[in-house]
A and B are shown apart, each in its own frame.
Chain A
Amino acid sequence: MRIALPRGTVRLAAAIAAIAALACLGPVVAPMDPLEQDLMRVMEPPGARHWLGTDHVGRDVLSRVLAGAPYSLGLAMLSVGMSASSGTLLGLVAANSGATGRAVVMRLADLVLAFPGLLLALLLSGLFGGGILPMLAGLHLAMWPQYARMADAAATSILREGHVEAARLAGFPEWIILLRHVLPRVLRTLAPLAILGTGQAIMSIAALGFLGLGLRPPTPEWGAMINDLLPFLAEGIVQVAAPCAAIFATVLALSLAGRSLAGSTMPPSVR
């Protein structure tokens, strides 16, 4: 049932595949144990044994960056997946219900959107002492309304189109109409948002880690790593730069992929 693929889909698929692979296989590929400390080799510069040097307690930085991928990337993808799914579901429900049903969902979305984005995740995560579950919950809570609103808007507009009326006239049941006529287009509309949203999630998780309110050491989450190593910036630029570069590279890849999916080579209007 696939609609004509837009240009850049191949690049997008490649980018996502690479990131997903990294997220799953990172720890497997890591040459050394990311948690193993060696206080004799503290803050070593990059060399033959440690390609990116060691951190302030002697751990191999390369291994830590690779091992951190499931946290920094995997969690981001998971949180976006959850938000997109629940948001789309709620949005479709809203579009399909009467005025009251719709109003309820939209008011709820508005309420959440009234909170500045990071703040919600920050509060939840910080209050519950960091860790995976509070962070996931916070991100999910903060992100679902955008998907709900977009899905509702898209679905509502599609449901007014001629082919939906024609299908109803032919006697197709409502669920088939939702599945064949509405859902593919809604997903297509939401895809760029989800891609860009994953980038945002990666940055949020890193920010929380950096603040010390997300995942904490010794978990090799990239933001937390940066926070740990920042006092040693003068002695070891590479060690700080490595997780920075990891974050930047993955988010940049997703931004570019998301934009090419949205179909323009120039940035889309933000509002």
Chain B
Amino acid sequence: MLRVLAHRLGQAVATAIALATLCFAAIHALPGDLSLQVAAARVGDERVTRETADRIRREERLDAPLALQYARWMAGIARGELGRSLVSGRPVAEELAYHARYTIQLGAAGWLLSYLFALPLGLLAGFQPGGWLDRAADGLAVVLASLPSFLVGIGLVTVFALGLRLLPPAGFRTGAHMVLPALTLALSLAAFSIPVVRDAVVETRAAFFLTFARMKGLGAAAAFLHHGARNAAIPVVTFAALQFALVIDGFVVIETLFNYPGLGDLLVKSLVARDVPVIMGAGLLVGLSFAMVNLAADMLCLWLDPRRRRETKP
């Protein structure tokens, strides 16, 4: 157990270092003058002048030798200082905190919604493998899995916002603004969770110990309740926990599509604007969160499945 913990923590640290180094190397290896690009992002393309660029270069100390900048950057991260946004001037940590809140809300809502949808569907499909519901659910899952999340989003916007005029298409002012992004995320996640739930149910129901439980005298419902549910839950919960980490793949695109002011939106905008500190900060935060959620998922699995506790390798 401790070994898994240490392993995952080590992974998180290695991820952070690699990410930070990667960003740093990429930024500074790019052609073009960094200070010009930042200036353009800050004041607009038309109003960039030599003086503005020079000023920015001095302020952000972009003229120091590369190794020094790297050392400074890594040291800063270690201390928790992420610098200031080159575009807005605000501390990166502040920007991150502001946007992260929205992302967490969206991620949690989308994830919960997807299971609200996938669990009953997967259960019912699993109880009648090969039946019409099973085939329909499978078809739905394949279709959803073949649609990148932004296409799902566009579809939903077309239907609900433009067609039916029920919900606002973009931005964020009211809670209603979160519905479509969350729904989009939910559908993208459900594409994978529906088959997982369904397979878990089918495999468990086919297990001989369930038949044997009925031989011992338990009714079919009681047998599934006592033996089936717990065994089926393991792969499902495992996957659900991990999927929370995979939410990251989806939210970047979805937030951009809906102009939803979360971390993904911030990341994309700062990539376009070459806002180095924010890129690195956001990238680090995402990478670390991913590692942390994986760790939590691992711990959850270990707790749920006594077989995992006996395994010697992580």
Contacts and interface: CB of A to CB of B under 8 A. Distances in A.
Interface of A: 110-111, 114-119, 122-124, 126-129, 199, 203, 206-207, 210-213, 223, 226, 230, 233-234, 237, 240, 244, 247-248, 251-252, 254-256, 259, 266-271
Contacts of B143: 252
A207 B15 contact: no
B239 interface: yes
Interface in B139-186: 141-143, 145-151, 154, 157-158, 162
Interface in B241-287: 242, 245-246, 248-249, 252-253, 256-257, 267-268, 271-272, 279, 283, 286-287
B19 interface: yes
A233 B158 CA distance: 8
B190 interface: no
B272 A251 contact: no
B256 A211 contact: yes
Interface stretch (B22-30, B217-225, B303-311): B22-30
Contacts of A126: 268, 271-272, 279
Interface of B: 11-12, 14-15, 18-19, 22-23, 26-27, 30, 129-130, 134, 138, 141-143, 145-151, 154, 157-158, 162, 192, 195-196, 198-200, 235, 238-239, 242, 245-246, 248-249, 252-253, 256-257, 267-268, 271-272, 279, 283, 286-287, 290-291, 294
A248 B146 contact: yes
Given A210-B150, A244-B151, A269-B199, 9 more contacts: A114-B11, A206-B150, A212-B268, A212-B272, A247-B151, A266-B138, A266-B199, A267-B199, A269-B235
A248 B148 CA distance: 8
17 contacts: A119-B248, A119-B286, A122-B271, A123-B283, A126-B268, A127-B23, A127-B30, A128-B30, A210-B253, A210-B257, A211-B253, A223-B148, A255-B142, A255-B145, A255-B146, A269-B196, A269-B235
Given A115-B19, A127-B271, A213-B268, A203 B148 contact: yes
B195 A270 contact: yes
B151 A213 contact: no
A251 B143 CA distance: 9
A117 B249 contact: yes
Nearest to B247: A116
Given A114-B290, A122-B271, A128-B30, A270 B192 contact: yes
Given A116-B286, A117-B249, A271-B196, A207 B148 contact: yes
A138 to B, nearest CB: 10
Nearest to B162: A234
Nearest to A266: B138
A237 B286 CA distance: 35
A128 B26 contact: yes
A207 B271 CA distance: 15
Given A114-B15, A115-B19, A267-B199, A124 B151 contact: no
Given A266-B138, A271-B196, A206 B242 contact: no
A126 B274 CA distance: 9
Contacts of A240: 154
